[in-house]
Amino acid sequence: MKLVESVVTNFRYAKIFRENTERINSIDFSANGETLITSSDDDSIVIYDCEKGTTKKTLNSKKYGVDLVHYTHAANTAIHSSNKIDDTIRYLSLPDNKYIRYFPGHTKKVVTLCMSPVDDTFLSGSLDKTIRLWDLRSPNCQGLMHLMGRPVANFDPEGLIFAVGINSESVKLYDLKSFDKGPFNTFKLQQDKLCDWTGLKFSPDGKMIMISTNGNVIHLIDAFQGTPLQTLMGHVNAKNLPLEASFSPDSQFIFSGSTDGKIHVWNALTGNKVTTYLGEHTSTVQCVQFNPKYMMLASACTMMHFWIPGTCDE
């Protein structure tokens, strides 16, 4: 099945999970699309089986809390930031719920965390106005950048460069091998007066950069020239939250959560609104991601919804 507008408009929720008592704060699919890992404000990590539509495992991190959970390249390990005690990043073995390594250094809340798509490198950014580059094999920071404001950052799909959004007005591109020499390109954008940038993602084909905000706007820019492509609007963000937006694997569509409990879908190439999904979300949908391998979307408030084309179990 190809992802075209007629298929996208026909997505229905197929499964609802009510494992969590508080907000699910981040989600991440495994690279093979078979499992989904989530972290929640109730200090739990839940792993779902995407093929069977079942809960696979629940882990707890009561002491440190858990946020921004991401699979590493090994499907049985993950990294996550902490929202209690300190701002250390933790590297977790999932089968036995044991920490493999700690990555200390940030002095305020970590607000961006991303794995390289190709190796054991990962990036973290914090409200302490720094971005740190790490390697899973070492507890020591491999690189440190001081910024002027809240950072958002991510790797390109090939893992060769990374982009950093600064002060909600400029995007700087760095070569991973020589980032200490400074950015090789800087895109200056019109500053958002009414909101802050809260997320940055490359499209899977590497041609676009999407900037999500804590307002009711999502920006799409050309990844090579920095020219504005689309301004996506129509979703609701009444609480100024860092709502996640995500590309479909073919880079054609963009999905975003909303404070009204709906999922909003746009055509990335035209900027036009395609459709809106209404499930049983009773609060803000903060996390939305499309499965990298299967025709399936996941969305989360305190509940997790799995969406697939054209079916609905009431």
Q: What is the pLDDT of residues 36-58, one digit of tens each?
A: 999 999 999 999 999 999 999 99
Q: Which of 30-44, 90-104, 131-145, 179-193 is predicted with the least confidence, judged by mean pLDDT?
A: 179-193
Residue 83's pLDDT is 81
Q: How confident is the model at residue 1 (pLDDT cuts 50, 70, 90)?
A: low
CATH class of 5-309: mainly beta
* Other Cβ atoms within 10 Å of 135 Cβ, number: 16
What value does the mean pLDDT take over residues 112-132? 95
Q: What is the pLDDT of residues 145-189, one digit of tens each?
A: 998 888 999 999 999 999 999 888 999 999 998 888 999 999 999
How far is the first Cα of the chain from the last one, in angstroms, to the nearest whole number? Answer: 24
Q: Give residue limits of the domains in the chain.
A: 5-309
Q: Is 261 helix (H, G, I), strand (E, B) or coil?
A: coil
Mind giving me the DSSP string for 142-161? EEEEE-SS-EEEEE-TTSSE
Between CA 56 and CA 64, with CA 58 as vertex, the angle to 5 degrees is 150
> Which tokens sit at 143?
């690189």
Burial track 59-94 (b if 16+ CB lie within 10 A, e otherwise):
bebeebbbbbbbbbeeeebbbbbbbeeebbbbbbeb
Percent of the chain with pLDDT over 70: 98
Q: What is the pLDDT of residues 242-292, one digit of tens each?
A: 899 999 999 999 999 999 999 999 999 999 999 999 989 999 999 999 999
Strands 67-71 and 54-60: unpaired
